[in-house]
Amino acid sequence: MTTTHYRWQKVGEVEVFYREAGPADASVLLLLHGFPSASHMFRDLIPELAEQYRVIAPDLPGFGQTKTPLRGDFTYSFDSLAEVIDGFVDALGLRRYAMYIFDYGAPTGLRLAMKHPERVTAIISQNGNAYVDGFSDEWGAWQAYWQDPSATNREACRASLSPATIRNWQYGTGADPELLSPDGYELDIAYMTRPGAEEIQLDLILDYRSNVALYPAFQAYFRAHRPPLMAVWGRHDPAFVPAGAFAYRRDLPDAEIHLLDTGHFALETHHREIANHVLDFLERTLQS
């Protein structure tokens, strides 16, 4: 069993917290988490992968243990998140890596992939959307805010940050309650209570529209550079439906698709199955 190390890396004014495990000379796998979580969502997956890979999982700015300037001194946008993670990757000297992208980690990671396509050896998308096909019909409040960023529409999105929504909707939908540990969602709920956290998340909710605007560019990247891609998806995800996984085949016909009988935070209940899919996929992909 490998040891996970907990470290910080300075990137400009941001101190990026990250988890690292595995041999220093092994192929790199970069894990990018989603909303409203942090790298702790990979706590069960990292030991499964680190016997064979150098696994690195940072907390995005505004999440987890990463330290950023106050809101107003730092722009909480997906461009900013990607810029910090790009600097983080450079600071660690990562020149080639596979990416595991989930939720907010998908548009963050795909910005990196478009900027440095030569670095990306493979992509694993776990409920990480890049197509409008993937949206469920439960995005009404967010979409209204994107179209009209009024104070009223901003306030309507605050319900997405509540303990009940995090616990029951984001984590609970489609997950076997006997397999769903409270550790993940209770930590996310605690992070959301920190001063200023909700306003940061509401800024990012508004900026999520920039990701949708970039979907055609992400798809053009897929067609131009043909990265090996596997989508492993919780089929009961209330936000990103399985059509978003199958849509990858529109631009990457060889994309591998695996649907699991769980929800959005699939790693909470199916980390072993996902680890097996990742190890099999990377063994075949990186060898070839």
Calculate helix-pair angle for 140-147, 197-225, nearest 10 degrees.
Answer: 90
Q: Give 160's contacts (C-beta < 8 A, 6+ positions apart).
A: 141, 142, 201, 205
Is residue 189 within 8 A of residue 171, CB to CB? The reply is no
Residues with a catalytic annotation lie at 264
Is residue 50 within 8 A of residue 4, CB to CB? The reply is yes
Give yes or no for a cis peptide into 36 (omega within 30° of 0). yes
Q: Give 244's contacts (C-beta < 8 A, 6+ positions apart).
A: 127, 129, 130, 131, 133, 134, 135, 233
Strand partners of residue 120: 97
SS3 category, 97: strand
Given the DSSP bridges, would you call strands 120-125 and 97-101 parallel, antiparallel or unpaired? Answer: parallel
CA–CA separation, 200 and 143 (whole Å): 18
CA–CA separation, 175 and 177 (whole Å): 6
Calculate helix-pair angle for 197-225, 182-192, nearest 10 degrees.
Answer: 120
